[in-house]
Amino acid sequence: MIIKIIFMLLHLHTYLFHQKSQANRWMWINKLLGNIYLLTAVNHLSMRIRVLSPMNHPLWVGVCSHSTSKTECWEPLDWRKQLGFIREMRSGRNAPVDNMGAERCYDTEAPAHVRRYQVLVSLMLSSQTKDQVTAAAMKRLRAHGCTVENILSTDDEKLGKLIYPVGFWRRKVNYLKLTTAMLQKDFGGDIPNSVEGLVRLPGVGPKMAHLAMDIAWDQVSGIGVDTHVHRISNRLGWLKKQSKNPEETRKALEEWLPREHWSEINWLLVGFGQQLCLPVNPLCSMCLNQHSCPSAHRSLIFLVGFDL
């Protein structure tokens, strides 16, 4: 919001510089101050307001059936409506994640334990890598033979050529070898069926673990939060306070988001982030949530009401 106000002031300065009439200048200054007040109020009301009682105890709005406490419940304003709009915008299922995500990178004809291994490998490769690059690397690995036995027998140089140019490919060659060796030794060539077991594998973090549980084992253990989910959750005001990293975002989302939405939220927001809610210059004018999103870009013409 502060950035928006700064831009408004800069544009207003330019506009007033060309105004000869002092009366006109004061008129537009008053108009700007009114709009800044309105913008501040709208930003403040982007989430439910918590009213403090005389004893300074919060009076929580509503009761969440999924909450561990029936007396305390926080949830963002209009999140169900916003989620519905995101579903509508994602109904075409034509984002890169829909065709090249981890759910599309394994051999559907392979034995179950091989499919699960390929899901894990694709998730490990996907970190800091576009879906298109990950999908291409997985295609080469499957053609080579993406099994525990084949990966262990492949030398590092060859494995590097197969996965290049995924992000940090040299490091991932090492992670793949170490993890695959652990899978063969400790899990009979399969992958662990728990988050705790998965995150002990080299190169596997909480996001990958939760997604692997969902895709490979068909078990919802938590929300898979990547940079897209992290960014969009903060932009929409879906967190009590701004989070610093994806793991903070995951914990904050799981506090209030009903469990039945945990599985879909990753692919919904990832695709939404790939197509509309971009990291830089998001396409807010095309978003169905542009009027309720606290971070939606408003043009100066809309906010102040005059042409520059």
Residues annotated as catalytic are 207
- Distance from chain centroid for Cα 280: 14
Q: Tell me how crowded residue 261 is: count the other CB atoms within 10 A of its CB.
A: 16
DSSP state of 70: S
Task: Say how far apart CA 191 and CA 118 lie, in whole Å.
Answer: 10
Cβ neighbors of 248 (< 8 A, separation 6 or more) are none
Helix (H) or strand (E) holding 59: strand 58-59
Backbone angles phi, psi at 263, to 5 degrees: -70, -40
For residue 126, the one-letter residue type is S
- Could you tell me the sign of the dihedral formed by the alpha carbons of 236, 239, 245, 246, in that order? negative
Residue 133, classed as helix, strand or coil, is helix
Q: Which residue in 119, 147, 139 sits closest to 215, CA to CA?
A: 119
- Could you tell me the sign of the dihedral formed by the alpha carbons of 295, 95, 166, 281, in that order? negative
Task: Say how far apart CA 254 and CA 205 lie, in whole Å.
Answer: 17
Token couple for 29: 């200054």
Task: Say how far apart CA 98 and CA 275 lie, in whole Å.
Answer: 12
- Distance from chain centroid for Cα 3: 23
